Amino acid sequence: MSNKLSNAQIAWRAAQDIENEAYVNLGIGFPEMVAKFQPPGRQAIFHTENGILNFGESPPEGEEDWDLINAGKKAVTLKPGAAFFHHADSFAMVRGGHLDVAILGAYEVAENGDLANWSTGPKGVPAVGGAMDLVHGAKRVAVITDHVTKHGQPKLVKRCSLPLTGVGCVTRIYTSLAVIDIVDQRFVLREKLAGLSLEELQAVTGAELVIAGDIADLVAPEI
């Protein structure tokens, strides 16, 4: 199989689809990387569940203000016009449909758009957290993920086997091998690595890939 995209390249590809001045929430961990790759001339307005709107990049090491953190407890900076608000108000924004995009990681995504991205296993977390609000409050929900698990098993599946974060909520998936939309409860292939055959991609995907029109090459800069 051909080389796969790195996490940074997956994050870069996802960032290319964020509209200028969109209100965006990035999930804790890997999805936070998307903020580094805003296209020239475009800038999203980032929201964090703990109560900041329009925060900026991480400060230089040693210059952190630990009163200014995102939901992942990472230090952030503020942009002009940034706002602070109560946790409850933050979730009112989410639940009220005021976010344009939420980008999350995943353990599993089902072909009907179901998402499983939390677990109570040995390295899990106590509960699903704010993700369950994000996936049904944001106007568009995208997932960034490796195409397979560390053990080579598909993460894109017919039905999720893990506890669900949300039902029928995912609209687009950016993986290390492809860009896939969920349309009418099916995986519709939009882009794939040029050196990867359809047969190779299908072999590591746990549900049928639907071909609808031309398939573009998935390309990303060296990062």
Q: What are the residue numbers of the active site?
A: 49
Please provide residue 134's backbone torsions phi and psi, each rounded to the nearest 5 degrees.
-60, -45
Chain position carrying tokens 């946790």: 87
